Amino acid sequence: MIYTLTLNPSIDYVVHLDSFIGGITNRTTGEEYYIGGKGINVSCILAELEISSTALGFTAGFTGEAIENGLRGLGIRADFIRLKDGISRINIKIKADQESEINGQGPHISEEEFERLLLKTDCLEDGDTIVLAGSIPKTVSDNAYERILQRLEGKRIRIVVDATRQLLRNCLPYRPFLIKPNRQELSELFQREVTDAQETERCARELMELGARNVLVSLGGEGAVLFAEDGRVYQSGVVKEKVLNTVGSGDSMVAGFLAGYLQQEDYGYALKLGTACGNATAFSMGLAKKEQIYHILSRL
């Protein structure tokens, strides 16, 4: 079973306007709602690829109910901790002449409630996969991911970490199966500019020396490169189409890579399917759908 963790899920409210002017009432030309959060995005793409997953995390209030119901409607098992107070956050995405975002803070998560999440992770068994994705809410301690990984020590769990900076670095001693930085995140992590292939590989190799088994680096319009534990370097290009949306593209790549690896245990195919999923989401208003994913896969 694949488990995805989203500590601070959301409802993403996307509004379209011809232009946005501060200080007056603006009228939308269109709007959409999506359930959001990096781990949730991974689960949604896995569902499109007909792979089961269980979504873990915290929800609260009427927005939390909407998130859980939305996941169940997609055939995804929602096993969240229901918080007593507050509401799951609403993120506003403004698409006008410029794109802007207003992200909510989310509900308070107590130590007692986090302990309940740790208890849920006890159900993971040898051969399972857990995806730790996104930042940690302010009300949770900075070592939240480490505490989860400590709890899983001794089990043969496939660990995927999609996080940044020190949060990612702190997970490396637990030998994650996959991490997915981009060049900007590598620059932030190593505090030096990473702009070319040589420096990208140098950073990826350092991350592998620190514990990462496979390092998948997203290169944006240049595709992606995988530094694999089998010693090989795999590369994938991209399909050229108009980019409509970048939100969730990296999460889609993680989901596709996992699905491809579980299906064939082949890193080359995993990278190809991951790239197809990332591209398909970038060319969609929301997350990619199955038909579009496999159409793009056939063109890579």
> Hey, which residues are catalytic here?
251
**Torsion angle of C-alpha atoms 10, 54, 219, 181, degrees rounded to 10:** 80
Q: Break the chain down into helix, strand, coil percent, rounded to 5.
A: 40, 25, 40
d(CA 6, CA 218): 21
Contact 68, 78 (CB under 8 A): yes
Element (H or E) spanning 35, and its range?
strand 30-36
Which candidate, 30, 19, 32, 274, places its Cα nearest to that of 162? 274
Cα–Cα distance, 19 to 26 (Å, whole number): 8
Token digits of residue 81? 């901790």
Candidates 125, 117, 167; CA nearest to 146 is 167
44, 287 contact by CB (below 8 A): yes
Sign of CA dihedral 36, 38, 43, 48: positive
